[in-house]
Amino acid sequence: MNNLINHNNMLMDDMEQHINYNTHDYQQNNINVVNNESEFEVKNNYIVVNSKDRNWLGNSDESPYKFSIKFGGSNTDRYSVTSNEYKNISYIEVSKLFLNDRANLNNSNVTTTKLSSLPYIQCKFKNFSRLVDGTNSVFDSSMGIFVSSTIPITTDEHQFVNFDNQLPSGRFFQPIPLNTLTMVDIELLDPQGNQIKNKRDTLDIKSIHINNETSITKNDYLVITTTQFFDNTEFKIGDTIQCKNYSFHNTDYDETFQFNQYINSLNCHTILGIGKSNDATELYNRIHIQFPSQISRTTGNLVVDTWFSSFLIKSLDTTPIDSNQGRLINLSTQTHLMLQIDTMHKTIKKNYELI
């Protein structure tokens, strides 16, 4: 709060204009403002960024630790987008990072450190000029030095860790506000300036089949075979995945459309297990998810969706048949970022007298 007060005071001094805050922020009988000059109001815009919202279907260059945000973009863009664009920007700050803290992997598939065990993480806006000075160029364009608020633990758990910014403030644009900000390029770095690359979060779908088509029970599951192999810390039991653009190889039946809808559903899927198409490999390439069904609150028993029962008989395979359609993302390993952008707006002149 002190940073924002100082920020507002500096804007008044530099621009020789009064900054007038919304009147509902104060008790009316405390207002005594008589001003014949131009008035400006500072609006605080808070933006929650989730790296899953990047175009992970069409832009393979991005990851949870390196992606771009386009302000005022559309769903046809190759980047994460917001519905609003921002103009006359007086201040920008990254206040918090929320990162998955499962163990990192090196190129030999050996578990090393967790993100919370690093001394700090930098959040770099590559298209900004220097904000932090340091003993080397690693700190160029850094919008924050983030330290974990959690004591590192050695056990491998599913959890997100809050990283707080240690800088006292963000970036001011004064005395002249930044006219517009169309895009920022975000990159998370370790203390040595290396981009964090500790896990794969997207996979191409090769095929989907069911493990058993007779006497279906709650222990059965759909098997997603992926084109790429993954480690068992990258995709784990309990993780949530989302699929897009999957299409079953056989389009002869009406139920195929419903099956595609189920796989590509925005409700997502929980990983029930992982497996291998070849037991001799070190890495995995199969993910198990629930088939369309639910436990009845009336009978207490498993009820398979009617259309899926029909699909089992007509078309669904018990062995993989490649369709090579679609892609999936692990929602449980994404980066979350809290961004504040302050914008200045000219207001109508008003005279207030003490009541």
* Domain boundaries, given as residue ranges, for the chain: 2-199+334-347, 202-332
- CA-CA distance, 252 to 291, in Å (whole number)? 20
pTM for the whole structure: 0.81
Give how far Cα 19 sits from Cα of 15, 166, 248, Å.
Answer: 10, 28, 59
Each residue's pLDDT, cut to its tens digit, for the chain (355 residues) gives: 445 445 545 444 444 343 333 333 333 333 333 344 557 889 999 999 999 999 899 888 899 999 999 898 777 777 788 888 899 999 999 999 999 888 766 555 555 678 888 899 999 888 776 667 777 777 777 888 999 887 655 555 547 889 999 988 888 888 889 998 888 899 999 988 888 876 789 999 999 999 987 778 889 999 999 999 998 889 999 999 999 999 999 999 999 999 999 999 998 999 999 999 999 999 999 999 999 999 889 999 889 999 999 999 888 888 999 999 999 999 999 999 999 999 998 876 655 555 5
- CA-CA distance, 117 to 147, in Å (whole number)? 9
270 contacts: CB under 8 Å, gap ≥ 6: 238, 239, 240, 241, 289, 290
DSSP 8-state code for residue 290: -
| C-beta separation of 141 from 57 below 8 A | no
* DSSP secondary structure string for all residues of 210-234: ES--SS--TT--EEEEEEEEE-TTT
